[in-house]
Structure 1
Amino acid sequence: MTTRPARRSPRPETTRPAAREEVLLDVGAPAHGGHCVARTTDDPDGRVIFVRHALPGERVRAVMTQKTSKIWRADAIEILSASPDRVEPVWPQAGPGGVGGGELSHVALGAQRTWKRWVLADCLRRIGGPDVAQAVTEAAGGTAVSVEPLPSEVRAEASEDARTRALAGTGTRTRLALTADERGRFGMHAFRSSTVLDPGRLPLAVAAIADLGLTERALWRRHARPGSRLEAVAPSVGEPLVLIDGRVLTAEGRAASRRRVGEVVDASGLGLGELRYSVHADGFWQVHKDAPAALVDAVVRAVVTGSPSGGGASLVADRVAGTSVLELYSGAGLFTLPLAAAGARVVSLEGSAQAVGDARRTLHGYDTVSLHTGRASARAVDELGRLDGTPADVVVLDPPRQGAGREVIEAVAALGPRRVVLVACDPAALARDLGSLLHSGYTVRGVRALDMFPHTHHFETVVVLDRH
């Protein structure tokens, strides 16, 4: 998802029970959002409770954290019968009552991907409906879609060193955000809360960020006041930067002269060599160090071949030249650059003027690209998709978490491209958008799910659809 906001407001405080209430739960299947479906041990057919920090098949003691007329939530605080997939958490501070952002760190990494596979299949069936579920299953070869690890996780899990294997999925985040508490100490929000807690050593961050000591050193507190926002960026080119309330600082805490960072994406597997991007330090970029290259490879292959995986490097130069592409929610040009470099004619639309400015700087010199700022809408799709008088051959969409929505999807279908490539970071939104595309005459041709957010419930899915 290339248009996820760089800044997020803290989630509203959860409605908590008036008095501490503990329950014994038998834990069932995972649910979208990092919970499992559970019921009390003395009422197996009773009300569903969504429990965090548990695993399917476990029996746990849990404390209720939310009770409304619509939903009950709880945190597992004692494991009475443990799953074989339970491991020592790589981020204990993200456990019960702790910070958000590491809700699956107690789950073995392979089991996390199984968890996400179940959630994807459930959302496709329950939200998209049987036609969507069947279409995706057939495109995946008759089975549920596997969620694939990124290269750094593959290497770590294959290591002969036990500690390296145990820490697989950590040290991968090149961006993070912190908030100062009332004492000016930087921390992270508790789950569904505005309370700021100490997150510990930030195990998901790459070493260049972890070594800054953002939560420990007085150096950073000198620049803070209660509620200050800190963003740390470790680009693939150059030293890390720290932004505090918009002020850009070096790793030594001095004012920085640069507000942009350079990113390099290895696209040699597509025959495109290294792709170089210029991005504002506070602009959006995929957070996992392997994610930009993995997504570029999947999306460009999908545009060219109809499959987001496999194939050789020569296919790009041989088959994409002259293809017209309408790209919606294009961000800072992550996909625009490789498509243009491969010879496609690209018209892009992005809501953030800053992101469009970044893309313009990156794509300077490409006369086959037309960059536009604005909201994705039916009118925009119709106008931009027919700039040369004929509909675009391919539409690429990478919408924010809520998905593209029916208006945009139906406008894309009305445009009539022969192929649609949909990138989704939320399986529920994906199911809804796929339902609209299938209803409008498209067939799922290929699908690939990538575990770009280990130790959390998030993942990314790339789906290719062709008009029949």
Structure 2
Amino acid sequence: MSPHRRSAPPRRPAPAPATPEYVTLAVGAPAHGGHCVARPVDDPSGRVIFVRHALPGETVRAVITEKNSKIWRADAVEVLTASPDRVRPLWQDAGPGGVGGGELSHVALPAQRTWKRWVLADCLRRIGGAEVVDAVTALPGTAGGAVSVEPMPGDAAAEADPNPRVRERAGAGTRTRVSLAVTDAGAAGMHAFRSGTVLPVHSLPLAVQAIQDLGLTERALWRKHFRPGMRITAVAPSDGDPLVLLEDPDAPGQAPTVLTAAGHSTGRRRVGEAVDATGLGLGRLHYSVHADGFWQAHREAPTVLVDRVVRAVLAETPTAAGTRPGDEPLDAARTAGTRVLELYSGAGLFTLPLVALTGQVHSLEGDARAVGDARRTLHDYDGAQLSVGRVTPAAVAQLGRFENAGGADVVVLDPPRRGAGREVIQAVAALNPSRVVLVACDPAALARDLGTFLRAGYRPAAISALDMFPHTHHFETIAVLERG
């Protein structure tokens, strides 16, 4: 998972009118980014307004939040006709006029996944084009290009729990990493949607219990450490106690101050993460990463992604599905010797199981510290060649060659939100691997990259989507491609 997936600084949109402007909207289909497409009820063919905190089929009263020559945005502040999929918002701080990061918490969790399925299908159609839609539609279970978005195992179990309180909290308490900022008044907060303004937050319902128990939003213990503009990162690793990292706004580039759960300074800079790879026959995998380095935030994401991606790379029949009950572990005798090129490899989440099963992985990552973490984790594996550098066509061509063995058999790409891009994909195709596994965290980038792969002679053999970010519009997609 590439460190470059860190969120970009909030953009500063064109200001809303000084005097609030209200409009009554008929709400249509979801749009990429957490909005719905809406139009004024008295002008059904009029200007499109992208409205948040609404649901398809609703009628809402909304306040305009941004206007420019290309786009108008609004927040629904009153629901006049409600959707049956509307629920009491899980996180009030992320409601209209509030912080970003919980924009779907007013939507029932199954309906959130329907929302994301619609968005993925729309991106494949609008951005990928007819060729991409036809190729995806030809796959089993994806009629109309509509790939189902699957819940994470724990979230699915919570949804099915007989206790209504557990069901109501499904999808909450899953984030092992939380980023906050300090308000001008010295309180923990987050940025308002598409804004540099930091608003106070009063709870962190998406965070795992270990982070909630820190009390960052309410305990005086932390206030004495906070300074306006400071960035706060709370980390709850799978191995060990939580940490709180504070970045001083007046000392850019300086290492963050690291505090224990009791608010005491500590020299601890790394955390241990464990991934259950039993389904692959590898037992429990252990990683060492910097506390402020990139690691998948959902507590189940590393395990689920390792299982899915490694099977996508090495299973005899291409698949984007994970281990099922009764599945046999991968046959190490068959997978040994498979040559894998891994691009955007981060701290080695996939590198470790792949080299354990194949003995040959060349990886490339642009973040030197992440590669240092991977080397620490993989120091016992001579077959792992870990390189630091930008993913460019030249680098792909060089690393895709394996000494005395020819080119890569499989290429894995896990690019940042913008996607891999045409030139990198063409360089991958020039290696002529029999299989490519593409992990995408943005459906628009996925659609563009799939179109490029199709034009380079590859066809999707399997695709799956995972709801790794419940209560937000984000999700992850895994696509397996083979030569057409």
TM > 0.5: yes
Give the TM-score of the pair, scaled to structure 1. 0.98
Shift, 1:391, TM fit: 1.2
Please identify, of 306-315 and 438-447, the stretch whose mean Cα deviation from structure 2 is larger: 306-315
Q: State the Cα deviation string for residues 257-286 of structure 1 (Å, max 9, x = none).
A: 210000000011111110100000000000
Q: State the Cα deviation string for residues 386-439 of structure 1 (Å, max 9, x = none).
A: 142511000000000000111111111111111000000000000000000000
Partner of 2:330: 315
Tell me the secondary structure at the aligned position of residue 314 of structure 1. coil
Aligned counterpart in structure 2 of residue 367 of structure 1, from 382, 402, 407: 382
Q: Evaluate the alpha carbon distance shift between residue 453 and residue 372 of structure 1 in structure 2; reply closer, same or farther with a 3 A threshold.
A: same
Shift, 1:18, TM fit: 3.4
Shift, 1:66, TM fit: 0.7
CA distance in 1 between counterparts of 2:240 and 2:319 reads: 34
Deviation >6 Å, runs of 4+: none
Q: Evaluate the alpha carbon distance shift between residue 62 and residue 220 of structure 1 in structure 2; reply closer, same or farther with a 3 A threshold.
A: same
CA distance in 1 between counterparts of 2:167 and 2:177 reads: 23
Q: State the Cα deviation string for residues 185-210 of structure 1 (Å, max 9, x = none).
A: 11111111111112221000000000
Give 2:265's aligned amino acid. A
CA distance in 1 between counterparts of 2:298 and 2:140 reads: 25
Q: Matches of residues 231-310 of structure 1 in structure 2 within 5 Å?
A: 231-245=233-247, 246-305=256-315, 306-310=318-322
Percent identity of the aligned residues?
67
Q: State the Cα deviation string for residues 15-72 of structure 1 (Å, max 9, x = none).
A: 3123211001000000000000000001101111100000000000000011111101
Shift, 1:139, TM fit: 1.9
Say whether residues 1:434 and 2:447 are aligned partners.
Answer: no
Q: Evaluate the alpha carbon distance shift between residue 7 and residue 59 of structure 1 in structure 2; reply closer, same or farther with a 3 A threshold.
A: closer
Say whether residues 1:422 and 2:438 are aligned partners.
Answer: yes
Tell me the secondary structure at the aligned position of residue 3 of structure 2. coil
Shift, 1:8, TM fit: 4.2
Shift, 1:178, TM fit: 0.7
CA distance in 2 between counterparts of 1:336 and 1:366 reads: 10
Shift, 1:256, TM fit: 1.2
Tell me the secondary structure at the aligned position of residue 302 of structure 1. helix
Q: Matches of residues 380-459 of structure 1 in structure 2 within 5 Å?
A: 380-388=395-403, 390-459=406-475
Say whether residues 1:213 and 2:191 are aligned partners.
Answer: no
Shift, 1:215, TM fit: 1.3
Shift, 1:170, TM fit: 0.2
CA distance in 2 between counterparts of 1:231 and 1:319 reads: 43
Please identify, of 395-404 and 11-20, the stretch whose mean Cα deviation from structure 2 is larger: 11-20
Q: State the Cα deviation string for residues 62-97 of structure 1 (Å, max 9, x = none).
A: 000111111010100000000000000000110100
Partner of 2:122: 122
Partner of 1:328: 343
Give 1:424's aligned amino acid. A
Structure 2 alignment gaps of length 5 or more: 248-255
Shift, 1:4, TM fit: 3.6
Say whether residues 1:466 and 2:482 are aligned partners.
Answer: yes
Please identify, of 186-195 and 274-283, the stretch whose mean Cα deviation from structure 2 is larger: 186-195
Shift, 1:3, TM fit: 3.0
Shift, 1:353, TM fit: 0.4
Say whether residues 1:30 and 2:45 are aligned partners.
Answer: no
Structure 1 alignment gaps of length 5 or more: none
CA distance in 1 between counterparts of 2:14 and 2:154 reads: 36
Aligned counterpart in structure 2 of residue 158 of structure 1, from 143, 146, 160: 160
CA distance in 2 between counterparts of 1:418 and 1:308 reads: 16
Give 1:124's aligned amino acid. L
CA distance in 1 between counterparts of 2:92 and 2:140 reads: 36
Aligned counterpart in structure 1 of residue 367 of structure 2, from 349, 352, 356: 352
Please identify, of 384-393 and 201-210, the stretch whose mean Cα deviation from structure 2 is larger: 384-393
Q: State the Cα deviation string for residues 347-368 of structure 1 (Å, max 9, x = none).
A: 0000000100000000011011
Tell me the secondary structure at the aligned position of residue 118 of structure 2. helix
CA distance in 2 between counterparts of 1:272 and 1:431 reads: 33
Give 2:166's aligned amino acid. T
For the 8 Å contact 1:6–1:282, the answer to whether it is kept is no
For the 8 Å contact 1:2–1:286, the answer to whether it is kept is no
Give 1:303's aligned amino acid. V
Partner of 1:378: 393
Say whether residues 1:70 and 2:80 are aligned partners.
Answer: no
CA distance in 1 between counterparts of 2:129 and 2:163 reads: 44
Say whether residues 1:338 and 2:388 are aligned partners.
Answer: no
Q: Evaluate the alpha carbon distance shift between residue 328 and residue 82 of structure 1 in structure 2; reply closer, same or farther with a 3 A threshold.
A: same
Tell me the secondary structure at the aligned position of residue 407 of structure 2. coil
Q: Evaluate the alpha carbon distance shift between residue 344 and residue 431 of structure 1 in structure 2; reply closer, same or farther with a 3 A threshold.
A: farther
Please identify, of 307-316 and 436-445, the stretch whose mean Cα deviation from structure 2 is larger: 307-316
Please identify, of 136-145 and 286-295, the stretch whose mean Cα deviation from structure 2 is larger: 136-145
For the 8 Å contact 1:14–1:192, the answer to whether it is kept is no
Tell me the secondary structure at the aligned position of residue 261 of structure 2. coil
CA distance in 1 between counterparts of 2:31 and 2:284 reads: 39
How many residue pairs were aligned?
A: 468
CA distance in 2 between counterparts of 1:384 and 1:134 reads: 33
For the 8 Å contact 1:179–1:230, the answer to whether it is kept is yes
Shift, 1:164, TM fit: 0.4
For the 8 Å contact 1:424–1:462, the answer to whether it is kept is yes
Tell me the secondary structure at the aligned position of residue 300 of structure 1. helix
Alignment root-mean-square deviation, CA: 1.2
Please identify, of 259-268 and 311-320, the stretch whose mean Cα deviation from structure 2 is larger: 311-320
Q: Evaluate the alpha carbon distance shift between residue 42 and residue 278 of structure 1 in structure 2; reply closer, same or farther with a 3 A threshold.
A: same
CA distance in 2 between counterparts of 1:340 and 1:377 reads: 23
For the 8 Å contact 1:23–1:63, the answer to whether it is kept is yes
CA distance in 2 between counterparts of 1:310 and 1:262 reads: 24
For the 8 Å contact 1:304–1:316, the answer to whether it is kept is no
Give 1:294's aligned amino acid. V
For the 8 Å contact 1:3–1:330, the answer to whether it is kept is no
Partner of 2:232: 230
Give the TM-score of the pair, scaled to structure 2. 0.95
Give 2:61's aligned amino acid. R
Give 2:432's aligned amino acid. G
Give 1:242's aligned amino acid. V
